[in-house]
C-alpha cells in the first residue's frame, strides 16, 4: 500500500516568515494530493489539493508543488500569521479500479507554530 | 449547508465495553468513511460505506464494524474495547461520482477507554 512520509514534525517560525512542509509518497499510482489543517480539538479541514497533471497550485498565501518523478510534494505558506498555527497533514490517494474511490493515506503531521 | 456532523463529541468507556459513534454526512454526499486518529498521528482509514455496504476496509480487526442507513448517515461500532482504542474517531464524507475526490471531515468523537 501507499506510504507517506512528512517532515518536519514541528516547525516554528516568526510571523511574516515563510513555512515549507515536505512530503514523499511511495506509490507512483497516486494521483491526488490534498493538504489538511487541523486546529486543536477540531477535525481536519481541506486547505488545498493538487492532482498529478499539475505541477503547482496557488491559493492566496498557500501553494503546493508536486514532483511526480521524485514522488514528493510540498506545502508553502507565505507571510505566516499566528492563526496559521495548527497541525498540517499531507495525504496521497491512489484511484481504485472499481468505483474510482479515493482513500487518502495521511502523513504523520507537522505542528506549525507561528510566533507573533 | 450543514457539514459533517458527529456524535457524541466525547465519551469515556471501560475496557471490554462496546461503543457506537454516529455520523451525518455533508448535504449531497452519499459516501461515508471512518478514520481513527491517535494522539500525534495522522488519520488511519478504518472503512468506507456506500449504498449501505462496506466498500473498502483498512487494517482494522473485526471488532470494528459499521453501518450505513438509507439517509446516508452512518454508525461505527467497536466491540470489546481495548485501551489502545482510545483516539479521535473521524467521519468523512464525499459525493461519489462528483467531479472531485475531496473528502470532508467532521469534528470527531473523542473516545477514552479506561
Which of residues A31 and B77 earns the better pLDDT score? B77
Pick the more confident residue, A99 or B103.
B103
Question: Confidence class of residue B100 from pLDDT cuts 50, 70 and 90?
Answer: low
Q: What pLDDT is attached to residue A41?
A: 84
Q: Touching check for A3 and chain B: CB below 8 Å?
A: no
Whether the per-residue pLDDT at A100 is higher than 60: the answer is: no
Q: Are B26 and B93 in contact (CB under 8 A)?
A: yes
Counting every residue written for chain B, the total comes to: 114
CA of B16 vs chain A CAs: smallest distance (Å): 26
CA-CA distance, A12 to B95, in Å (whole number)? 37
Q: Is the pLDDT reported for residue B99 higher than 60?
A: no
* Bridge partner residues of B59 (DSSP): none
Nearest chain B residue to A109, by CA:
B42
Which three cell numbers mark B11? 465519551
Q: Which of A9-18, A78-87, A88-97, B27-36 has the lowest mean pLDDT?
A: A88-97
Contact between B92 and B24 under an 8 Å Cβ cutoff? The reply is no
Residue B108 to residue A43, Cβ atoms within 8 A: yes
Question: How high does pLDDT run on average in chain A?
Answer: 92
CB contact under 8 A, A44 and B55: no
In this prediction, residue A1 carries a pLDDT of 79
Question: Could you read off the pLDDT of A31-42 as tens digits, one per residue?
Answer: 899 999 999 888
Position A98 pLDDT exceeds 60: no
pLDDT tens-digit map of B14-69: 999 999 999 999 998 999 999 999 998 999 999 999 999 999 899 999 999 999 99
> Which cell is B109 given?
468523537
Q: Which of A93, A103, A107 lies nearest to residue B48, judging by beta carbons?
A: A103
Q: Who wins on pLDDT, B98 or B35?
A: B35
B56 bridge partner residues: B48
The reported pLDDT for the residue numbered B84 is: 97
CB-neighbour burial class of residue A66 (10 A; exposed 0-12, middle 13-18, buried 19+):
buried
**Once rounded to an integer, what is the mean pLDDT over residues A61-81?**
96
pLDDT band at A3 (very low <50, low <70, confident <90, very high): very high
Question: In this predicted model, which residue has the larger pLDDT, A104 or A74?
Answer: A74
pLDDT of residue B24: 97
| Nearest alpha carbon to residue B25 among B65, B75, B87 | B75
Which among A46, A102, A108 is the nearest to B104, CB-wise?
Answer: A46
Q: How many CB atoms lie within 10 A of CB A108?
A: 16
d(CA A35, CA B13): 32
Q: Is the distance from CB of B77 to CB of B18 less than 8 angstroms?
A: yes
Amino acid at each position: 500500500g501507499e506510504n507517506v512520509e512528512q517532515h518536519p514534525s514541528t516547525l516554528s517560525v516568526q510571523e511574516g516568515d515563510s513555512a515549507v512542509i515536505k512530503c514523499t509518497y511511495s506509490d507512483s499510482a497516486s494521483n491526488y494530493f490534498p493538504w489538511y489543517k487541523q486546529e486543536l480539538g477540531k477535525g481536519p479541514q481541506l486547505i488545498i489539493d493538487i492532482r498529478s497533471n499539475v505541477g503547482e497550485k496557488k491559493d492566496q498565501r498557500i501553494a503546493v508543488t508536486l514532483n511526480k518523478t521524485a514522488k514528493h510534494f510540498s506545502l508553502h505558506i507565505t507571510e505566516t500569521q499566528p492563526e496559521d498555527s495548527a497541525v498540517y497533514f499531507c495525504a496521497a490517494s491512489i484511484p481504485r479500479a472499481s468505483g474510482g474511490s479515493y482513500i487518502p493515506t495521511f502523513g504523520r503531521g507537522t505542528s506549525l507554530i507561528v510566533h507573533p | 449547508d450543514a457539514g459533517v456532523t458527529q456524535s457524541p463529541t466525547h465519551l469515556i468507556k471501560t475496557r471490554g465495553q462496546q461503543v457506537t459513534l454516529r455520523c451525518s454526512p455533508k448535504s449531497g454526499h452519499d459516501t461515508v468513511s471512518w478514520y481513527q486518529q491517535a494522539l500525534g498521528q495522522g488519520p488511519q482509514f478504518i472503512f468506507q460505506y456506500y449504498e449501505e455496504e462496506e466498500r473498502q476496509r483498512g487494517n482494522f480487526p473485526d471488532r470494528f464494524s459499521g453501518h450505513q442507513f438509507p439517509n446516508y448517515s452512518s454508525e461505527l461500532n467497536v466491540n470489546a474495547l481495548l485501551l489502545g482504542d482510545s483516539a479521535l474517531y473521524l467521519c468523512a464524507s464525499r459525493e461519489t461520482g462528483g467531479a472531485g475526490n475531496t473528502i470532508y471531515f467532521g469534528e470527531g468523537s473523542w473516545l477514552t477507554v479506561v
